[in-house]
């Protein structure tokens, strides 16, 4: 049924959709070409020949990157490489603050733990899996047959090529399954990035906002063995030779130009129910916004006071604050755009369509009711879980035993750990949990706070941090050595007791949440299948799930409110207008100011002599698309997607054509910073630049 729906007519909205590449020929390419695309579907996605998809990788599992040379050079966002840049940084060599440019292959720095993954191909295995379980006698037999067939499919897929990995992934809420084969490279090296004053210009204030003036990019390189195959890091490895690399266009963008984006969007919920929307807004988002605001204030105060803490917590802070501000915007737009009410109206229309046919009633009749009622029933447990995960589980010392007992992980953990900062955090997080969560869900150590410390959370935390051996690597190593000599372990450490207490609380709520999720997932499968059937010939796309997708769009301005119009492009003039030497978010490097004053922009300038920084298109993106290539009608690189806009923060749930915009760093600004600012213009010699 789903396949028949997928092969219907062209989509209703050309600017909406995260489309599967194997279906472009049947669903999208005609409309794309009408909009100006000069490529065929085969040019974009081909199984037998090299195509654009071979130049695009899943970067670190959470972002996208693109290959820009035949020597494995790749571009992604600065915020995507941020954690790796931070891990390489020290107070003496602060690559976050100062930036870094390798001036030869020998100066490229190994990015430990970083990998990139190429897509080999997609294969529809829905019919095969359904056939395998058709004669299942019960749920247990169904699961056994299903898992056996999945393993068989995966084994067959990689049998002829040991460099491949395989997985079977669900689409349309378990209504369709695709086998995806991939190839992962683990020797990735940091080539360069601008200082954070360029790569993170505007920081929290400008995050999710337009106009934007952030040079959000970083540069890495893929290395392979001498046979061009994936390999662990080795000095013997050489730059990878890709099947395809992107041409880079200096032509730039004009209003109404065609632009498409290929990447790995993480997660959307376009089939979210009205009660799910309420739970998202009133429980998940509201709790996280409040708690993270408190946590980030503690971190930032210490980061501003100590350069070492700033490096240790920069990546943690950035990850936390990105979600924090997104959820604030989402809650605001949920209200402004009446998301809950619109979802309820869609459910009413669906139920009326179902009620008109007895066969539909049999298949889909209880789907919406089951989803919404189950969401309501689990509200108490969802509330407690969110507070537990955002407060007590956020205390880093509680995670220390797991990290410390692994050699390499231990070093990485303590390198980026400040016990004094975590001590302050622990006091505030425990206080919030005590205030906001019913006493029946309080861990056992709350009673100890009352009985042994006179109700003082601060005294309890001070004692915990003073007595635990896990507050530093030195203390742990000394204690572990002594424990081994005495034939003992460290299970009596007070942190271990806390871990057990939290596990007991988790045991009270997780079974309830897992049970509710199973009911919701089964009902959602029916709801989505029914929705697709109701849509008939109007083609649909599945929710994002970190698989490769394409969205096509136009370069467009927008009007966020009455009498306000935002242009589609920003320039370096705007950086200087925002400059504030007293605010770390808006400091402008002296060299950048000198280049601006001299108008030393070279071939990267606009026709009017200004230096472009960022531009807009109305592509349909979400988290995971960060770093995705924005391509012109010929498939040439125009820029890197890095953000969405504040006025459409409900975009993961409902796409708003008039408001939703994708914010992209202009490739000309990227090249200008590499060449003129960074002095690494030699890298451009590797690239195929279309002038």
**Residues labelled catalytic:** 79, 216, 626
What DSSP assignment string belongs to 45-84?
Answer: --SSS--GGGGEEEETTTEEEEE-STT-EEEE-HHHHHHH
Max CA-CA distance within the chain?
A: 77
What secondary structure letter does DSSP report for 193? E
Rounded CA separation 57/72 (Å): 11
Question: What is the β-pairing status of strands 662-666 and 258-263?
Answer: unpaired
Helices (H) and strands (E) in the chain, counts: 27, 23
Q: What are phi and psi of 564, to 5 degrees?
A: -115, 125
Q: Specify whether the CB–CB gap between 401 and 298 falls below 8 A.
A: no
Sign for the pseudo-dihedral over CA of 95, 96, 97, 101: positive
Rounded CA separation 73/637 (Å): 14
Query: Residue 634, class by beta-carbon neighbours within 10 Å (0-12 exposed, 13-18 middle, 19+ buried)?
Result: middle
Residue 174: count of CB within 10 angstroms of its CB: 15
Exposure letters 574-607 (e unless 16+ CB within 10 A, then b) = bbeebeeeeebbbbbbeebeebbeeeebeebbee
Question: Interhelix angle for 407-415 vs 473-485, to 10°?
Answer: 150
Q: What is the 3-state secondary structure (H, E, C) of 633-671?
A: CCCCEEEEEEEECHHHCCCCCCCCCCCCCEEEEEHHHHH
Question: What is the β-pairing status of strands 248-249 and 689-690?
Answer: parallel
Question: Is residue 549 helix, strand or coil?
Answer: strand
What angle (nearest 5°) sits at the alpha carbon of residue 371, between those of residues 370 and 372?
Answer: 95
What secondary structure letter does DSSP report for 673? I
Question: Is residue 488 helix, strand or coil?
Answer: coil
């Amino acid at each position: 049924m789903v396949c028949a729906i997928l092969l219907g007519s062209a989509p209703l909205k050309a600017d909406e959709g995260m489309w599967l590449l194997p279906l472009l020929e049947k669903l999208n390419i005609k409309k794309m070409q009408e909009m100006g695309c000069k490529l065929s579907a085969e040019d974009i996605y081909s199984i037998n020949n090299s195509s654009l998809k071979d130049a695009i990788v899943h970067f670190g599992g959470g972002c996208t990157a693109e290959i820009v040379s035949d020597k494995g050079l790749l571009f992604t966002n600065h915020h995507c490489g941020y954690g790796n840049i931070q891990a390489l940084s020290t107070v003496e060599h602060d690559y976050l603050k100062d930036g870094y440019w390798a001036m030869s292959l020998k100066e490229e720095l190994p990015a430990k733990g970083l990998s990139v993954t190429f897509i080999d191909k997609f294969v529809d295995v829905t019919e095969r899996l359904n056939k395998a379980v058709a004669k299942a006698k019960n749920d247990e037999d169904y699961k056994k047959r299903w898992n056996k067939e999945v393993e068989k499919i995966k084994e067959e897929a990689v049998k002829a090529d040991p460099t491949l990995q395989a997985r079977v992934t669900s689409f349309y809420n378990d209504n369709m399954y695709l086998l995806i084969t991939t190839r992962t490279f683990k020797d990735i090296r940091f080539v360069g990035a601008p200082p954070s004053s360029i790569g993170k210009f505007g920081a929290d204030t400008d995050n999710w906002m337009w106009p934007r003036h952030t040079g959000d990019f970083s540069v890495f390189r893929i290395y392979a063995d001498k046979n061009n195959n994936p390999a662990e890091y080795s000095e013997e490895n050489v730059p990878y030779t890709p099947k395809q690399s992107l041409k880079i266009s200096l032509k730039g963008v004009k209003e109404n130009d065609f632009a498409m984006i290929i990447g790995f969007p993480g997660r959307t919920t376009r089939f979210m129910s009205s009660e799910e929307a309420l739970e998202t807004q009133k429980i998940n988002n509201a709790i996280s916004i409040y708690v993270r605001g408190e946590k980030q204030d503690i971190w930032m105060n210490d980061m501003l006071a100590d350069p070492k803490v700033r490096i240790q917590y920069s990546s943690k802070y950035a990850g936390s604050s990105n979600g924090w501000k997104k959820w604030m915007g989402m809650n605001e737009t949920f209200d402004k755009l009446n998301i809950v009410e619109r979802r309820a109206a869609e459910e009413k229309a669906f139920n009326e369509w179902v009620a008109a046919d007895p066969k539909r009633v049999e298949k889909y009749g209880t789907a919406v009711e089951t989803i919404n009622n189950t969401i309501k029933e689990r509200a108490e447990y969802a509330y407690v879980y969110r507070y537990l995960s955002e407060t007590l589980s956020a205390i880093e010392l509680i995670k220390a035993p797991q990290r410390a007992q692994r050699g390499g992980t231990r070093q990485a953990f303590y390198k980026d750990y400040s016990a004094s900062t975590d001590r302050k955090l622990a006091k505030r997080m425990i206080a919030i949990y005590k205030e906001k969560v019913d006493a029946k869900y309080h861990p056992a150590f709350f009673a100890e706070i009352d009985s042994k410390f006179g109700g003082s959370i601060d005294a309890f935390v001070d004692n915990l941090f003073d007595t635990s051996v896990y507050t530093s690597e030195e203390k742990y190593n000394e204690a572990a050595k002594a424990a081994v000599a005495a034939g003992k372990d460290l299970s009596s450490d007070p942190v271990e007791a806390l871990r057990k207490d939290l596990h007991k609380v988790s045991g009270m709520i997780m079974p309830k949440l897992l049970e509710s999720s199973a009911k919701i997932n089964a009902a959602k499968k029916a709801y989505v299948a029914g929705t697709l059937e109701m849509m008939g010939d109007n083609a649909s796309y599945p929710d994002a799930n970190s698989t490769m997708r394409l969205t096509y769009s136009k370069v467009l301005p927008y009007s966020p409110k009455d009498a306000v119009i935002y242009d589609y492009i920003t320039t370096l003039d705007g950086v200087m207008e925002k400059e504030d030497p007293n605010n770390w978010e808006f400091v402008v490097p002296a060299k950048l100011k000198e280049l601006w004053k001299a108008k030393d922009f070279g071939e990267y300038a606009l026709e009017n002599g200004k230096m472009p920084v960022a531009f807009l298109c109305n592509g349909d993106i979400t988290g995971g698309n960060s770093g995705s290539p924005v391509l012109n009608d010929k498939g040439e690189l125009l820029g890197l997607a890095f953000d969405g806009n504040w006025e459409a923060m409900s975009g993961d749930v409902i796409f708003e054509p008039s408001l939703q915009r994708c914010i992209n760093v202009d490739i000309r600004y990227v090249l200008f910073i590499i060449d003129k600012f960074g002095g690494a213009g030699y890298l451009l010699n590797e690239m195929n630049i279309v002038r």
